[in-house]
Amino acid sequence: MGVFDPPTDTQIESAYAIAKDRYAALGVDTEQAIANALATSISLHCWQADDVAGLETLPGVTDGGGIMATGNYPGKATTGDQMRQDYDKVLSLLPGTQRLNLHACYAETGGKAVDRDGYTAKHFGKWIDWARQSSIGLDFNPTFFAHPKAEDGLTLSHADSGIRKFWIDHAIACRKIAQAMSEALGTPCVTNIWVPDGLKDSPADRWSPRKRLIESLDTILDKNLGIDNTKCVDAVESKLFGLGSEDYVVGSFEFYSHYALTRHTLLCLDMGHFHPTETIHDKLSALLQYHKKLLLHVSRPIRWDSDHVVILNDDVKNVFLELARGNALNRVVVAMDFFDASINRLMAYVVGARATRQAILNALLDPSSRLIELEAQGKAGQKLAAMEGVKTLPFGAVWDMLCLRSGVPAGAGWVPIVEAYEKDVLSKR
Ligand code: RNT
Ligand code: ZN
């Protein structure tokens, strides 16, 4: 029997029946957990498909911006059509509700030279049509990196007002595009602003760039632009350090946490944007006392913000456990953010998206009320023992049933399908 052979339907049914009873004895309704796990949408980041290369054709557009995919695995998509073809395959292997999270550098201008401040919804027409046909929503991101006007490592906080204006105009154009995407697809479009702005070493002035960043953001989010913030849902993403911005990042966590709170935008927490040993699960019950909602970039930092493919590790499990325990799953927007160019890129998507949804299911299966009860009774030892007991409950049997109900292969049964796609499609690129 091969490692990718999925369990049979009969095996899934009988294992599930036993698991259902085990969980029921702990007061957990597996049916409800499956339904809620399927309904939570995960926004697939478009940029894993081509290692954040983008589709722009303007000369001078460069790499950089402090993020970098490493690896050289063959078969990368190089056109919008190839990317969409890859997403169709990926989506067919994922259970539950998905969205696609587009970056502005994936504009399709039909060979015309259009710079980023000139983008309109028509440059994303193919994406919108595809999303409509696939019945999925789109999220959006202005692209403040890989561009000659970002070469200094500063964009919205640049001292040069001309450079700031270019990026402000780009962001406003993106908010209008997001509104159009939302109108076309009938679902809000979360629009996330991440700028690479920072300095490599010992800034003499940490103050002015932050002041300028506030002014630029306020101009971008100006109410008088008439952009409907129920359609374009704005978010801002903080970061601790990047390549070339090791000492100082203008949009730090403190900066954006307060910005989001005072300007009523979402705050985006990327799991790789904190100190290497710092995790985000303990932040959720603090931030959500104040913030109405958060955007999550589910990622996997290894020693630094390395954007490894998400797997079902403790960090990801703990994030969703905290949300489930606080009844706050509906107060986060779940998006993924990683890029590994060293493995089959579709496998990266499927592994990452499945692991994320597994973490959601795992959290919904937690007998939290029993654990909270033990804690309230002062039975800390019993609580710890019960938490350890939960770790060996038959979670996998419930996951396999979730897959069976969704009509996608359980276990790693999807791998041969991607291998066949690699042979038939990717290897011919
Ligand atoms: C960079 C941020 C940001 C990007 C994407 C491509 O450190 O995490 O979210 O990964 O915008
Ligand atoms: Zn991110």
From the CB of 337, is ligand 1 less than 6 Å away?
yes
- pLDDT-based confidence at residue 323 (cuts at 50, 70, 90): very high
337, 366, 400, 422: the catalytic one is: 337
Q: Residue 322 corresponds to which amino acid? A: E
Look at residue 355 and tell me whether its pLDDT is greater than 90: yes
Q: Residue 307 belongs to what H/E stretch?
A: strand 304-308
> Counting ligands in written order, which one lies closest to the CA of residue 196?
1
What are the C-alpha distances in Å from 198 to residues 9, 145, 184, 240? 53, 12, 36, 10
From the CB of 269, is ligand 1 less than 6 Å away?
no
pLDDT tens-digit readout, 394-422: 999 999 999 999 999 999 999 999 999 99
Q: Residue 357 belongs to what H/E stretch?
A: helix 345-364
Q: What would the mean pLDDT of 197-212 be, rounded to a whole number?
A: 98
- pLDDT-based confidence at residue 2 (cuts at 50, 70, 90): confident
Closest approach atom of ligand 1 to CA 47: 6
Closest approach atom of ligand 1 to CA 270: 8
Helix (H, G, I), strand (E, B) or coil at 409: coil
pLDDT tens-digit readout, 103-138: 999 999 999 999 999 999 999 999 999 999 999 999
Closest approach atom of ligand 1 to CA 339: 10
Q: What would the mean pLDDT of 322-336 be, rounded to a whole number?
A: 98
Indicate if 123 belongs to the active site: no
Closest approach atom of ligand 1 to CA 299: 8
Lookup: tokens for 327? 């009844």
Indicate if 194 belongs to the active site: yes
From the CB of 43, is ligand 1 less than 6 Å away?
no
Distance 238 CA to ligand 1 centre (A): 10
pLDDT at 68: 82
From the CB of 197, is ligand 1 less than 6 Å away?
no
For residue 2, the Cα-to-chain-centroid distance in whole angstroms is 32
Look at residue 63 and tell me whether its pLDDT is greater than 80: no
Look at residue 62 and tell me whether its pLDDT is greater than 80: no
- The C-alpha atoms of residue 378 and residue 429 are separated, in whole angstroms, by 62
Q: State the residue for tokens 């359980």.
A: 410
Q: What would the mean pLDDT of 371-386 be, rounded to a whole number?
A: 98
pLDDT at 65: 67
From the CB of 47, is ligand 1 less than 6 Å away?
yes
Q: What would the mean pLDDT of 250-267 be, rounded to a whole number?
A: 98
Look at residue 270 and tell me whether its pLDDT is greater than 90: yes
76, 231, 283, 297: the catalytic one is: 297
> Counting ligands in written order, which one lies closest to the CA of residue 242?
1
- The C-alpha atoms of residue 59 and residue 115 are separated, in whole angstroms, by 10
108, 237, 322, 400: the catalytic one is: 237
Indicate if 103 belongs to the active site: no
Look at residue 43 and tell me whether its pLDDT is greater than 60: yes
Q: Taking the alpha carbons of 323, 327, 331, 336 in that order, is the dihedral positive or negative?
A: positive
Residue of 116, 267, 268, 270 to test ligand 1 pocket, by largest number of atoms within 8 Å of CB: 270
pLDDT at 61: 63
pLDDT at 266: 98
Please state the φ and ψ torsions of residue 164, each to the nearest 5 degrees: -60, -45
Distance 335 CA to ligand 2 centre (A): 9
Please state the φ and ψ torsions of residue 343, each to the nearest 5 degrees: -130, 170
* Average model confidence (pLDDT) across the chain: 96
